[in-house]
Amino acid sequence: MKLFEYEAKTIFARYGIPTPKGALATSPAEALDTILETGVPVAVKAQALVSGRGKAGGILFSTSPREVELAVKKLLNTEIKGFTVRSVLVEEKVSAERELYFGVTVDRSNRCYVAIASSEGGIEIEEVAVSTPKKIIKTPIDPLKGFRFNHAKEVAKRLGYSGSRMQNLAAIFLKLYNVAMDFDAELAEINPLVETSKGKFVAADARLIIDDNALYKHPEFKGRLTEDGETELSPLELEARKRGLAYVKLEGNVGVIGNGAGLVMATLDAIQLYGGSPANFLDIGGGASAKVMVAALNLVFSDSRVDVVFINILGGITRCDEVARGILEAKGRIGFLKPVVVRLVGTNEEEGRRILTETGVHVLDSMEEAAHRAVEIAGKRG
Say if residues 15 and 178 touch (Cβ distance below 8 Å): yes
The secondary structure of residue 133, as a DSSP letter, is G
The secondary structure of residue 17, as a DSSP letter, is -
Q: Radius of gyration of the chain from Cα atoms?
A: 26
Task: Report the C-alpha gap between 322 and 329 in whole angstroms.
Answer: 10
Closest CA to 55 of 123, 102, 118: 123
Catalytic (active-site) positions:
101, 189
Say if residues 158 and 117 touch (Cβ distance below 8 Å): yes
Task: Report the C-alpha gap between 362 and 355 in whole angstroms.
Answer: 10
> 3-state class of 212 per DSSP?
helix
Burial annotation 195-228 (CB, 10 A radius, 16+ → b, else e) = beeeeebbbbbbbbbbeeeebeeeeebeebeeee
- The residues near 121 (Cβ < 8 Å, ≥ 6 apart) are 99, 100, 101, 191, 192, 193, 194
Say if residues 254 and 374 touch (Cβ distance below 8 Å): yes
